[in-house]
Structure 1
Amino acid sequence: MDTLHLLFNAVTVIFIAATMFAAGLGATFAALRGIFSNVPLLLLALVANGVVIPLLGWGIGALFSLPAAGFIALVLVASSPGGPFGAKLAMVQNGDVVAGAAMQVLLATIGSLTFAPTANGILTAAEVGKGVSLDVVALVRTVALLQLVPFVIGLLLRRYAAPTARSWHPPAATVSNVTFLIVLAGMLLGSWRDVLTLLGSLTLLAGFVLAVAAFTVGTLLATGPPVRRTTMGSVASVRNVGPALAAIGIAFDNEPAILGALAAVVLSGLAAALPIAAVLSGRRSGGPATDEPR
């Protein structure tokens, strides 16, 4: 079982790195300047992901009267923006991949700093759980190594070796697609028992509703054409599981009930986010918006 766990972690790392590398190969400096100079877009994304969605997690948990484990898992997920599935969903929906990847990395980096105080504040106000404290340096380092570095390498190749970038982009996208399917299968196979134990509770529904609400908020609190707005919605709908897992290990001693609830929330959230991206893809005849700033 340990070997399978290590293998799954390795595939997950490859998926994240390949996805960000492929996004970088399809990006340009001009497109990134268009994103990072768009102050309203940045501010709205930060408000949506750092303030509104965590509060939504609190509200949904209270509305559904979730048990303590489910409430804690939902709040931890809602408080952790910048999930690596965000860039992948931008690709799946044929959205603005450059904007999605750039915003994902930015949110993951900022989320490394804001996650602990946000989650701790909500759990304290709701009088649920314990204080959440994390190694911020370790979180930022993980984001840099797995997300930022592959994206920058791909971006530099596109800038200074365009023919190489064009030839490498299809295989990088293929690796991202294949490992994406493996990661999804691994999550389902590894967590099915935990999910089954929660079928009688509202935790699965809460995770689903949170993802739909987060997509809606991310789309509404964005600027630009619909393709960019829905991309921001997809980035908002999938959260960063790494800090949540670390918090459960540090603050809750890897309590099985919370880990199971976390798996249920994450999987039900993906069950909501993936079909939304697929429907958007079916409505778009063109390819991903990766080359030109909007």
Structure 2
Amino acid sequence: MVEATVGGIVDFTTTIFVLSTMLSMGLELTIGQLMDSLRKRRLMAKSLVLNLVAVPLLAYLLVRILPMEAGYTAGFLLIAMAPGAPFGPKLAEISESDIAFASGLMTVLGFVSVVTIPLTVALLMPGDVAADPLGIAWLVFAVQLAPLVVGLVIDIRSPLLASRLYPPIQRLSNFSFAFLIVLLLVVYIDEMVLLVGTGALLVSVVLVGAALLLGYSMGGPAQDTREVLATTTAARNAAIALFIATTSFTDPNVLTVVLAFSFIGVVASGLIAGVWRQRVPR
């Protein structure tokens, strides 16, 4: 009974976090930012290939080279398959990079991931892992794409209303995220400790490092866009990955690895964004 109650709280908090995060993204983004990002066609194409193809394939190769228990493998692949970090614009703000491109890229990835996440799950998830690609597609549509579109529509039709709604919804996103992290740490602290020696932390560090390097090298000639692509690619979309892990998988190891990877990705990206902030002004 207690476990069921705790599980329900985790599911509810995760849902609130994802819905408020995606809605706030839609309310904040302007059509101008989205169009400016789309006009950078070559850079956008490379960004999509890196986030949607290269990172999931690299994750798949890593788990083939360094095999792990099925639940750890599923969690690692799941977070690798989830592009479009909601933290992208915030990381760009920290590094004083191209915030408009970060917002546009995050939105484009949010749209296309409705198709790519279930597709990569079907193609790359090991056969011994129970996963429902169609069910995951519906989840991604319902909790990621739908609120994002609602936010965009509100912003287009009534910018004043969007500006009024954004602050409280953004605060709800921040508070629910903080509460969720604390809750997950309390509930899964024993499982987190057990990750040591499983290989899950090692492959997470390797993938985050590779994503940073690849993003920086493929981010075009401008320093601003290099930094954005590096941090956005490395952080991944913890929001949707946590939601899928809590609602579509019964093995707690899946959620544990998603949580661990999210910490590593966000912390590493945040630290390097802080380093870039200290660069000599151009």
TM superposition score normalised by structure 2: 0.78
Match of 1:274 among 267, 270, 273: 267
Provide the residue aligned with 1:144 in structure 2. 141
Task: Name the residue aligned to 2:96.
Answer: none
Corresponding residue for 1:98? 103
Paired position in structure 2 for 1:260 = 253
Partner of 1:56: 58
Is 1:172 aligned to residue 169 of structure 2? yes
Q: How far has the Cα of 1:233 moved from its partner?
A: 3.0
Check the 8 A contact 1:89/1:274 in 2, yes or no.
no
Query: Per-residue displacement from partner, 1:68-104 (whole Å, max 9, x unpaired)?
Result: 4377336623651226xx1134324424452243133
Q: Report Cα offsets for 1:83-132 as digits up to 9, x if no partner.
A: 6xx11343244244522431331342232342134315xx5xxxxx5377
SS at match of 2:86: helix
- Matched to 1:130, the amino acid is D
Q: Give the Cα–Cα distance (whole angstroms) in 2 for the partners of residues 187 and 93 of structure 1.
A: 27
* Range with bigger deviation, 157-166 or 233-242: 233-242
Q: By how many angstroms is 1:267 displaced? A: 1.1
The answer to whether the 8 A contact 1:56-1:78 is kept is: no
Task: Please say if residues 11 and 183 of structure 1, whose CA atoms lie closer than 8 Å, have aligned partners that are also in contact.
Answer: yes
Contact 2:34 2:104 in 1 (8 A): yes
**Inter-partner Cα distance in structure 1 for 2:248 and 2:148:** 29
With 226-235 and 40-49 compared, the bigger mean Cα shift is at: 226-235
Q: CA deviation at 1:281?
A: 5.1
2:7 to 5, 8, 18: 5
| Deviation (angstroms), 1:164 | 1.9
Residues 28 and 158, structure 1, Cα contact 8 Å, conserved in 2: yes
Q: 1:71 to 1:15 in 2, by over 3 A?
A: closer
Summarize the Cα distance change of 1:50–1:12 in structure 2 as closer, same or farther, 3 Å threshold: same
Taking structure 1 as reference, are residues 220 and 77 closer, same or farther at Cα in structure 2, changes over 3 Å only? farther
Aligned equivalents of 1:263 and 1:169: distance in 2? 31
Matched residues in 2 for 1:23 and 1:248: separation?
24
How far the C-alpha of 1:201 sits from its partner, in A, is: 3.0
Read off the aligned partner of 1:260 and give its amino acid letter.
N
Equivalent position amino acid for 1:209 in 2: V
Q: Which residue of 2 aligns with 1:67?
A: 68
Partner of 1:215: 212
Pairing 1:127-142 to 2, within 5 Å after superposition: 129-130=127-128, 134-136=132-134, 138-142=135-139
- Change in Cα spacing, 1:74 to 1:58, as seen in structure 2 (3 Å) is farther
Q: Name the structure 2 match of 1:241.
A: 241
- Shifted more, 268-277 versus 145-154: the winner is 268-277
Contact 1:204 1:268 in 2 (8 A): yes
Paired position in structure 1 for 2:36: 34
SS of the residue 2:260 aligns to: helix
3-state SS of 1:87 partner: coil
1:228-256 deviation line (CA, Å, top 9, x unaligned): 4433333322255269749984xxxx5x5
Alpha-carbon separation, structure 1, partners of 2:272 and 2:56: 26
Using the TM superposition, give the Cα deviation of residue 220 of structure 1 relative to its aligned residue in structure 2, in angstroms.
3.0
The alignment covers a number of residue pairs equal to 267
**Residues 215 and 273 of structure 1: CA distance in aligned 2, closer, same or farther (over 3 Å):** farther
Write the distance in 1 (CA, Å) between the matches of 2:205 and 2:187: 19
Q: What TM-score do you get using the length of structure 1 for normalisation?
A: 0.75
1:16-35 to 2 correspondences below 5 Å: 16-35=18-37
Does residue 88 of structure 1 match 2:103? no
Unpaired segments of 5 or more residues in structure 2?
Answer: 94-98
Residue aligning to 2:201: 204
Three-state SS of the structure 1 residue aligned to 2:18 is helix
Residue 14 of structure 1: aligned partner? 16
1:155 aligns with 2:152: yes
Distance 1:117 1:147, change over 3 A: closer
